[in-house]
Structure formats: C-alpha cells, structure tokens
Structure 1
Amino acid sequence: MRALAHLNKYLWHYKWQIILGTVFIIASNLFAIYAPRMIREAFDLITESLDTYNTGNVSDFALKLPYSVSFIFDLFNISTTRFTDINSVSGLTKAITSLSILLAILYLVASLFKGIFLFFTRQTIIIMSRLIEFDLKNEIFDQYQRLNLAFYRRNKTGDLMNRISEDVSQVRMYLGPAIMYTLNLVVLSVLAIWAMLSVNVELTLYVLLPLPVLSVSIYYVSTLINKRSEKVQRQQSHLSTLVQEAFSGIRVLKAFNRQKSTQENFAKECNTYKVDSLRLVKVDALFMPAIILLIGMSTIITIYVGGLKAINGEITIGNIAEFVIYVNMLTWPFASVGWVTSLVQRAAASQKRINEFLHIEPEIRNPKEAADEIKGKIAFEDVSFVYPDSGIKALRNVSFEINSGETLAIIGRTGSGKSTIANLICRNFDVTSGRLLIDNEPIEKINLNSLRSNIGYVPQDVFLFSDTIANNIAFGLSSDENVRQMVEMAAENAYVKHNIEEFPKKFETMLGERGINLSGGQKQRVSIARAIAGKPQILIFDDCLSAVDTETEEIILSNLKKIMVNKTTVLISHRVSTVKMADKILVLDEGAIIESGTHDELLSKKGTYAELHLKQLSEERKVEQD
C-alpha cells in the first residue's frame, strides 16, 4: 500500500463522495440484513401454523405476529384483531395467507431499497474513481511536460504511453470497485455477524470457523499476485513500445522488407505476455473456488449444527433458514476478497511504475515567475557540455558572442556539436561547465517561459502534428492575434504557401502522423513557417534547408533576410551556401571551435571552411553538368 499512498490526496479531495458512498453502503446493507428476517418469520409462521393445525386448537392459537409485521402495524396504527381472533381453520388459513403476502411485500420493498441505495453507491464511489482517473492522467501528463529532454532520451515512448493509459486504468480499479467492495465487505460482515450473534452465539462461531483459513490463504497468495502483476505490466509496456516503433517506422520496415521478421518478433513478445498473464490468471483462479468451498462448508455447518439445536429447541427452523441466507449473503463479499486483493496488488504495481516518473524532479526549472524582456544577445563563455546519459562530450570550451540583431552561422561535420548549441540556447539542457548568457544574464536566472516564447526554433528532425496545416503553423500563436493573416504570411516567407494552396482544402488540409503526406522539403518549410509566425526575437534554424534544392534555398533565405532584421539568428547547416550571408561564422569540429570569422575572412584563411566551400562548389558544378 506504500505506492498507493500517493493517491491519498485525491481521496481526501473527494472525501464527501467516499462518505456519501459509505452511508449508501450502510443503508443498502441494512435493508439486505432486514430481508432474511422476513424469510425467518415466514418459516416460523408456517411451522407454528402447522403445529396449531395438527393439534386442532385453532381458538387457542392467538397468533403471535412476527416482529417485522407488528412493527409495520404499529407504525401505521393498523388493527391486528382479524389476525389474533381466529376461531376456525379457514380463518387460520386466511390469516396465514394475508401474513405471507405482507411478508413477501416487505421482502420486495427491502430488496427494492437495497437496490436503490446500491445505485447511489455506484453513483458516488465509481464516479469518484473516474474523476480521480481524470486528475491522475492530467498530473502525469503535466509531469511529462515538465521533465527535460534527458528524461525522454532515457525512456521509450511506448512505456510512457502505457503508464498514462494501462497503469492508470489499473489504479482506477482500486479507487472504484476495490474500495466499494471493501467497504461493502466490512459493513455487510459487521451487520450480518451481529445479526447472527443476536440469534445464537455458538452457531455463529461454528459458521465463521472457515474464515481464518480464508484470510491466511489470501495473505499467502497476495505476494505472488504482486510480483506477477509487475511482470505483466512491464511486458505490456515493452509491447506498446514495439508496436509504436513499428508503426512510426513502417516505411523503413517496408523498404527493407522486414515485415515478416517484425511480425515474428512481435509474436514472440506477445507469447511472453501471454505466458506471464496466464501465470497471473492461474493464481487469480485459485481464489473463487477456494472461497466458495469455504462458504459451502459454512453452509453445511449451519444446517448440521443448526438442525441439532432446532431439535433441542434452542433455535427455530426459521433461524436456520436465516443463517443460511446470511452465510450465502457473505459469499460474494468474501469471494470478492480475492478479486479485490488482486486489484489492489495490480494497482500497487501500476502506481509504483507511475511514481517512478512522478517523483522525478526536472533538472531544468523556471527560476522565477516574473517575465523577462528578451533582446537577443547571446554569449558562450568557455562552455563545455557532456550528455548525462551517454557521457559523450559534445562541446569543449566553446566561447563566442552574438549581439542582438546579428546573425551567427555554425557549420561543421555531423556530430561536431552544432545542434547541442541550439539545445543549450533553448535551455533544453544546462551547460556542464562555463557560462551561457542571454542579454548579459546567466540563462539559469531568466524566466524559462519568457526565454522559450521569444525563440523560434526549427529542429533538425522536423515534427508536425496530426492536425491542419494552419494549426501546425499557428502552433505558437495566441488566440487573440490575427492568426490567419500571420499564418499565411509565414507560409509565404517560408516559400510553402504555393504548395499548400495546391491541396484541395489548402490550409485546412489534415496532416497524417508526423506530416507523412508532405514531402521532406515541404515539412521543413512548414516547420520554418511555424518558427517565424510569432515573430520571436531569437531565430534558430538547425539544418532546416537540407531537404530543399539550391534554388528553393536561395528563395527562402532571401525571404528570411527581411524577417531576420533586428532579430538574433542562429543558422546551423552543413552547406556553405546557407551560412555565407551571416555576420559571423563558427566552424566546429569534435565540439570545439576551430575557425571563426565572416565568409570572406574564412575563405582567405584557406582552412577547413575554405576546403568545404571548394568541395561543395565542385559538387554543385558536377550536378549542373549532369
């Protein structure tokens, strides 16, 4: 239960639902306990009537009304003369018939009220569980958004999805059915045992004799359920990850003709899940038969011991019938102990997995609530960075400065640390050593929301949402702005508007997952439009023109020049044609700056940049000749 303690704050928040649910459970079980008394009195009524009939002393019968019947008569001030003043067999028959009908009506009324309060119970406790499920999913999702990129590098998407869906569903079963049936078991057990003790203490003890065996059995098996539940949930997460990766990479699977091997791998993992689930089911399957057997033993004991006591005149036949009903009434609550135990164990295993993420404190935190004005000056002072998961040293003593409104270009081979600089400016990671300053202020002291809302970032790996093109471009805009005009202007500047207007629904065209119905170049240009639509103070383009041809690149850069005026811009690319217009160019290699200067200065140095420029020029000429 330690893992489930996290849910106590929700239970306290919805305490009135639990209190009302408990009241309704008590009311429902009071009527449930009252109903067997009708059966007892009916049996006793028939037994006494038969004895009277056999002796022939009808006039001496002086029928004793059952307590429940006399209570109703007293409540409504009904005369009992016609039931007690009996002088013939026919009168006795009529009295028995009337009383039997009345007892049947009372039994039906008790059952009706039991059902009504049971309905109210579900309307409070089960609905409470759904409300907590809603709150818990929102808490998990909010935590996911707070966690930094390093967390997502360590964990798989399928596992994250499974914890917010399957695991939360398991927890809801604890919050709803498990709590409801536990309360019902406690209340019904107390009321039923109290009712049985009021009839005969010794018989009650005999009847309850098998129950300690039941408790020991549950205690023994619960550990097995917990271990196997955790294993099943882990395998479920693994399956979710496998399916998610297969669907996301379906084009690669088909291109390499790996459908069969992927299917075989999935079948293998499914078989593991099946085996683990069946092992858990086998344990669950022991509960119900064992509990029903023990309850059946209680019934046999009731009839045997109760029969002996009835012969001795200690109890009546009606009491035996009443005891049998009470015992069978306890069958499902006690039978549900195993099921509830299973639910609690599964919920504990799931909540333990959820808590692993909920209790993680994000490494990147907002230092203050007050907003900051971002002008755009950026300075790296002897910055080094090591990725926390892999241990790869991405940057080594990097120092540079870019004033507000200037354009900085970064060029270098793959893995040289270009994208790491972009991630540090966005504060997706904090520097390992050195200082990163924004407007002469350490980035760790700047309001995180202000910083990121003033950055238009086009990542190297373009991601588009399964939404309309217009909504993808307007992703960073607030609703109070002239959204449509800004979207169309951004699309035009990104040189993608003419492509969008070729679609039948134009800007309202729905994109598939990750923009699968767009070409690589179109996705990059839509991503550029999204970055520039909000007119941020800092623009970061991380190799965002790699999928477009040289002619399209020149048009886009020409359009961007107008947007980049008075804005700090960071251009990251492996193409010299993209970066040559920058105010300052950095050449990176293995995380260190090996050259810096303007395009002309770097060409005059005849170093790495000049070699790269000549190589790309020769490649372009070769393409033109072909």
Structure 2
Amino acid sequence: MQEHQSFVRLLRRLWRHIAPRRRLQLGVLFFLMLLASFAEVVSIGAVVPFLGGLTNPEQIFRQPRLQPLISALNLTEPGQLLLPLTVAFGCAALFSGAARLLLLWAETRLSHAIGADFSISIYRRTLYQPYAVHLSRNSSEIIAGISSKANGLVNGTILPILAIISSVLMMLMIVMALVAIDPLVPFVVLLGFGSIYVLIVLATKKRLAQSSRSISREQGRVIKVVQEGLSGIRDVLIEGAQNTYCRTYLAADLPYRRAVANVQIISTSPRYVIEALGMALVAALAYGLASRPGGIATAIPVLGAMVLGAQRLLPVMQMVYSSLAHINSGRAPLEDTLELLDQPLPAYASAPPPEPIAFRRSIDLDRLSYRYKEDGQLVLKEMSLTIGKGARIGFIGKTGSGKSTLLDILMGLLSPSDGRMSVDGVAITEENQRAWQINIAHVPQAIFLSDSTIAENIAFGVPLEQIDHQRVRQAAQRAQIAEAIESWDEQYQTMVGERGIRLSGGQRQRIGIARALYRQANVIVFDEATSALDNDTEQAVMKAIDALGEELTILIVAHRLTTLKNCTQIIELGEGGVKQTGSYADVIGPLLR
C-alpha cells in the first residue's frame, strides 16, 4: 500500500509537468478509448446473429428485435437474412479494427509528444541551473536523463498507463457484452485468468524493481564510458587504452541489457500460458454449452461470441499485465527524470532580456568570501578589490590561490558566500546577475567550437537567420583573423569540424576573441587563454588583445608571466586574498630576475 501511495505521488508530480494543451489532448484520447471499447462491443454483439443466421436462420428470422430491420429490407424468407447479417458483421469488425488502430495511433503520438515536452523541459531547466550546480554534476548523468531516461519515461510510464486505462475500459465493455449473452461464463473466465495475472504480478514485483534500478544505474554508466572514451580519444590511442575502455563499457552495458531482457521476458511470458489455458477453457465451454437443451445448434452462436470475446479479452488482459510490468520496471528512471523535471527555473528564464547594468566607473569587491560547499574551506577570504573601467588587470598566483574562482564571481557565475560585489555601486545578486553578464565576454583556454561555420562560431548562440555578418567581419578584423578567414575558399562559411579540429590552436583562440568582440561586451575575461599556445602564436594572439579598444576592461589570467607585460595592474593572489598589487615591473619584475 505504501509503495502504491508513493507511486501515486510520483504520478502527481509528473502531472504537474504536463502542459495544459497536452491535458486537453488526453481528454480527447479518453473519448477515443470509449469509442474503441464501444466498437469492441458492437463487433462481439454482431457475431451472435451472424452465426445464428448460418446455423438456424428460421430462429433468427422470428426474433422480435429484428422485425423492424426485416420489414425495412423487405425480407420474406429466412435465407435472405444471411447477406445483411454478413455485411453487418463485416462492418462491425472493420469499425472495431479502425477504432483500435486510431486509438493506437493517438496513444503513441501523444505519448511521444509528451516525452518530447519532458525532454526539452529537462534540457532547458538544466541549462538554466547555476554554475555551482553544474560543477557538482557529472554531465553523463544529465545526458542520460535527457536522452535515454526521458524516452524511458514514455515507454515505461506514459504509454503503459494509457494502455492500462484503455485496456480496462475495453475489458469492462467486453465483459458487459458477454454477460448480456451468458452471465456465468465471462465471470468465470475473468476471475480465473485475472487471478493468474495477479499471482504473476506479485511473484515478479521484486525482480522488476531490481531490474528497474539496474537499468537506471547502468544507462548513465554506459553514456559516461562512451563520452569519456571519445572525448579523450588522443590519449586513448597513445596509451593503447582501448581494451580498458571496452571492458569498462561491457561491464556497464551487459547488466543493462540483461535487466532490459528480464523486463521483456517477465512482461510477455504469461501470454503463452494463458493462451494454452484459454484453448482448454474453450473446449470446456463448448462441451458445457453443447450439453444444454437445444444441443450444438443453439450453442454455436453463444460459443462463437464467447470465443470472439475471449480472443479480444485475453490480449487486453495481457496488455494490462505487460503495462504493469513496464511501470514497475520504469519506477527508478521515473524518479530520476522527475528530479530533473523539478529543477527550478530562475525568474529571468521566461522574461525578456534585461537591460544591462551600466558600467561606467568600477567593479568593487567588499570583504568578499567564497566556499564551494557549506562546510568546505574558504577559497577566497574577505577580499576587497577595485577594478576601474578600461583597466587591463593581470592576475597571478599559485595553483589553488583562487584565480579562476575570482573570475567566476566577477562574471556572475558564482555568488559570494559572504560580502558583496557591486558595479558602480549596484550590488550584483542572483536577481540581477543576468543583467550584469550581458556586459561580459569570456575567452577560456579551451575554446568551445561547434561543428558549424566560422560565422556561426563567432556569433555563437545567435540564430542563423539573425547573424549580423558585417559585425562578424568587424569582430574578425579586430581579432586579427579576418585575413586568414578571407583567404579560404568558403571564407566565413568554412566548416570548422568537431571542436574546431580543422583549425590551428592560434586560430581557435582568435575566433574566441572575435566571439567576445561580437558580443560588444564591456568586460573581456581571458582565463589562461594563451597557455596552450607556442611562444610565436601567443605573441600574435596577445598582439590582437593589446589592439583592442581602450574602452574595454580586460581581465587576464596567464600561465606565462611575460604575457601580462602590457597590463596596467598586476594582482597577486594567495592564501585566499590579495597578496600584492602594482605594475608589471613592481610585481613580476622581481620574479623574473
């Protein structure tokens, strides 16, 4: 009972994420379920007069309920009934088949449409999560949630629930039709077969729960292994680590597929037992009905209706059981998917782009502290710092001194644990950090390039039809890469390859600078942006940086100290705070002697 209540709570959480338009479509689907159920009753009811017309047309001809039809068709002999009864039965069968086909189409399309809604919702909510949340996550788990588990939600929860509802409605209608023909027989059939399915559900429930947890766990592991192996393919090839990754993949993939196989076996195997018992039951019914007064002639129409009803009833019962098995096996993926669907969205997610916070004077840090975890050590301790507009600031310090953390706070990616950051006196908070980030452009050490054109990568995040190509060229010129791009055959439509593999390191960095300039940001942050380059390429990239307008505020963290020689101020970090500040000659000069 407790597990049932827990599952109901999960379904309520799921229902909150279904859009109003989809709820309306579910209402239309319920009407189609009723229509298909009614069609089943019509097809079963039509078989009795049809078989009666074949075996005993005189008795059917004398039925009072058929007299209006006989008069309307101007029939004078019992034999004339056979054609209209055949046509009626054929039409009823076609109507039933068309209704079930329409219901299958509607159920499947709507289920996958809802699954698509969930998938994009997970992706959107994930992208809007704070940077601190992303730092604490494994991306493979998110990829599994967006791709595999969202699909599993469709096949393991939504489709089975819809199938159960439609099957139960159909089962009730079929039983009602059979009861109208013979009250005792359908009750015995339903009770007997239903008891068998209930026993099987109880016997397999624990095994399905174990398989559910295994499927949810191993899906993420499989994606993690594939992602890591392909992302580090250079190291894998150099180290000859292919077999290691293959063994790790197999250790995750094999349990996953075994769990899926268990679910499939458990959900389909009872069908064959029930079908065998059904054949035996039909034989027993035939014997019992033939023993009644009137013999086999009167028994055939009833027996035909019972056989047709059983032929429709058994697959429906199997569908209910199979759907319950899939729901039990999809419990863990459902819980994981709901955790992703329940991720909160920031207030600005559905709002129009805010007006940028004006930056005319300075960025001020006032006794700012930061720790990554509530019980963790402070990375920055009561730091106070002022950065004037138009300054070129170089940050140095040992590994772990807090350089990258400080830049993340300056870019509004992390919020201070204590103290505050303000721009021209306006405190930057979670509510207005998006308005501050409009002023920021970031050039990291590893420039992310999508497998698209040069123009799309410079105007990163801008829809293709909205790209300002004149602005793209101007940004490329200021980043001193326009000459190289315009010497290529496709120029700005040149494909860069996956992660920019067709470009040199210096070209990738300059495209990163051009991207920052396309944003027309007031502050550009270079975080180890040249550390992976050789000396000549680094000098060329730094020349491009030095040529940027004086109105830009530039913050640089560099691996090579000589990279910072044109900075107006050098800030050395250490022990969670500012150790010293000064000119390049005052701070770095002694370090180079």
For normalisation by structure 1, the TM-score amounts to 0.84
Q: Which residue of 2 aligns with 1:472?
A: 457
1:156 aligns with 2:153: no
Question: Distance between the aligned counterparts of 1:22 and 1:274, measured in 2?
Answer: 34
- Contact 1:382 1:397 survives alignment (8 Å): yes
1:491 aligns with 2:492: no
1:260-409 superposed matches below 5 A? 260-293=243-276, 295-296=278-279, 298-310=281-293, 316-361=299-344, 371-375=355-359, 377-388=362-373, 391=376, 393-409=378-394
Q: Which residue of 1 aligns with 2:445?
A: 460
- Contact 1:477 1:483 survives alignment (8 Å): no
Secondary structure of residue in 1 paired with 2:175: helix
Q: Which residue of 2 aligns with 1:613?
A: 592
1:31 aligns with 2:39: yes
Output the amino acid matched with 1:79.
Answer: N
Match of 2:584 among 583, 599, 612: 599
Match of 2:11 among 4, 22, 25: 4
- Contact 1:302 1:324 survives alignment (8 Å): no
1:16 aligns with 2:16: no
Question: Distance between the aligned counterparts of 1:301 and 1:255, measured in 2?
Answer: 72
Question: Distance between the aligned counterparts of 1:461 and 1:159, measured in 2?
Answer: 23
Q: Which residue of 1 aligns with 2:4?
A: none
Closer, same or farther in 2 for the Cα pair 1:276/1:129, shift >3 Å? closer
Closer, same or farther in 2 for the Cα pair 1:313/1:245, shift >3 Å? closer
Deviation at 1:142, TM superposition (A): 1.0
- Contact 1:542 1:573 survives alignment (8 Å): yes
Deviation at 1:164, TM superposition (A): 1.1
Closer, same or farther in 2 for the Cα pair 1:114/1:202, shift >3 Å? closer
Deviation at 1:111, TM superposition (A): 1.5
Q: Which range moves more in the overlay, 557-566 or 462-471?
A: 557-566
1:236 aligns with 2:219: yes
Deviation at 1:355, TM superposition (A): 1.6
Secondary structure of residue in 1 paired with 2:191: coil
Q: Which residue of 1 aligns with 2:148?
A: 166
Closer, same or farther in 2 for the Cα pair 1:253/1:68, shift >3 Å? farther
Q: Which residue of 2 aligns with 1:181?
A: 163
Output the amino acid matched with 2:260.
Answer: S
Question: Distance between the aligned counterparts of 1:141 and 1:231, measured in 2?
Answer: 24
Deviation at 1:365, TM superposition (A): 7.8
- Contact 2:451 2:497 survives alignment (8 Å): yes
Question: Distance between the aligned counterparts of 1:367 and 1:322, measured in 2?
Answer: 58
- Contact 1:18 1:124 survives alignment (8 Å): no
Secondary structure of residue in 1 paired with 2:379: strand
Instruction: Summarize deviations over 1:364-384 as a string: whole Å, max 9, x none.
Output: 988998534331621122222
Deviation at 1:107, TM superposition (A): 1.3
Q: Which residue of 2 aligns with 1:44?
A: 52
Output the amino acid matched with 2:406.
Answer: I
Tell me the C-alpha RMSD between the 2 structures.
Answer: 3.1
Question: Distance between the aligned counterparts of 2:185 and 2:511, measured in 1?
Answer: 80
Instruction: Summarize deviations over 1:55-91 as a string: whole Å, max 9, x none.
Output: xxxxxx68725578545445xx2223x21xxxxxxxx
- Contact 2:128 2:346 survives alignment (8 Å): no
Question: Distance between the aligned counterparts of 1:555 and 1:48, measured in 2?
Answer: 100
Q: Which residue of 2 aligns with 1:567?
A: 552
Output the amino acid matched with 1:133.
Answer: G
1:471-620 superposed matches below 5 A? 471-475=456-460, 483-602=468-587, 609-614=588-593
Closer, same or farther in 2 for the Cα pair 1:559/1:170, shift >3 Å? closer
* Aligned-residue identity in percent: 22
Question: Distance between the aligned counterparts of 1:42 and 1:478, measured in 2?
Answer: 64
Deviation at 1:452, TM superposition (A): 1.3
Secondary structure of residue in 2 paired with 1:147: coil
Instruction: Summarize deviations over 1:149-208 as a string: whole Å, max 9, x none.
Output: 232233222221111111111222356642443233222222221122222323333233
Q: Which residue of 2 aligns with 1:617?
A: none
Question: Distance between the aligned counterparts of 2:190 and 2:557, measured in 1?
Answer: 78
- Contact 1:230 1:349 survives alignment (8 Å): yes
Deviation at 1:326, TM superposition (A): 1.0
Q: Which range moves more in the overlay, 347-356 or 249-258?
A: 347-356
Larger radius of gyration: 1
- Contact 2:53 2:85 survives alignment (8 Å): no
Deviation at 1:354, TM superposition (A): 1.1
Instruction: Summarize deviations over 1:215-249 as a string: whole Å, max 9, x none.
Output: 34324434432331231121011101110111111
Name structure 2 gaps, 5 residues minimum.
1-6
Question: Distance between the aligned counterparts of 2:19 and 2:552, measured in 1?
Answer: 51
Deviation at 1:297, TM superposition (A): 5.3
- Contact 1:384 1:394 survives alignment (8 Å): yes
Secondary structure of residue in 1 paired with 2:573: strand
Closer, same or farther in 2 for the Cα pair 1:459/1:314, shift >3 Å? same
Secondary structure of residue in 2 paired with 1:436: strand
Deviation at 1:586, TM superposition (A): 0.4
Question: Distance between the aligned counterparts of 1:208 and 1:357, measured in 2?
Answer: 41
Closer, same or farther in 2 for the Cα pair 1:480/1:127, shift >3 Å? closer
1:215 aligns with 2:194: no
- Contact 2:56 2:297 survives alignment (8 Å): no
- Contact 1:31 1:114 survives alignment (8 Å): yes
Question: Distance between the aligned counterparts of 2:577 and 2:106, measured in 1?
Answer: 63
Secondary structure of residue in 1 paired with 2:510: helix
Deviation at 1:353, TM superposition (A): 0.7
Output the amino acid matched with 1:380.
Answer: L
Name structure 1 gaps, 5 residues minimum.
50-60, 84-94, 603-608, 615-626
Question: Distance between the aligned counterparts of 2:201 and 2:273, measured in 1?
Answer: 10
Instruction: Summarize deviations over 1:530-588 as a string: whole Å, max 9, x none.
Output: 11222211111112122334444444434434434122221111323222222221012
1:58-97 superposed matches below 5 A? 64-65=61-62, 70=67, 72-73=69-70, 77-80=72-75, 82-83=76-77, 95-96=78-79
Deviation at 1:102, TM superposition (A): 2.3
Closer, same or farther in 2 for the Cα pair 1:243/1:66, shift >3 Å? farther
Question: Distance between the aligned counterparts of 2:296 and 2:257, measured in 1?
Answer: 58
Instruction: Summarize deviations over 1:506-551 as a string: whole Å, max 9, x none.
Output: 2212222222222222222211111122221111111212233444
Question: Distance between the aligned counterparts of 2:303 and 2:398, measured in 1?
Answer: 89
Q: Which residue of 2 aligns with 1:139?
A: 121
For normalisation by structure 2, the TM-score amounts to 0.89
Question: Distance between the aligned counterparts of 1:315 and 1:208, measured in 2?
Answer: 24
Deviation at 1:600, TM superposition (A): 3.0
Output the amino acid matched with 2:532.
Answer: A
- Contact 1:69 1:103 survives alignment (8 Å): no
Aligned residue pairs, count: 582
- Contact 1:36 1:326 survives alignment (8 Å): yes
Deviation at 1:445, TM superposition (A): 6.0
- Contact 2:289 2:295 survives alignment (8 Å): no
Q: Which residue of 2 aligns with 1:111?
A: 93
Closer, same or farther in 2 for the Cα pair 1:612/1:368, shift >3 Å? farther
Deviation at 1:109, TM superposition (A): 0.7
Deviation at 1:457, TM superposition (A): 0.9
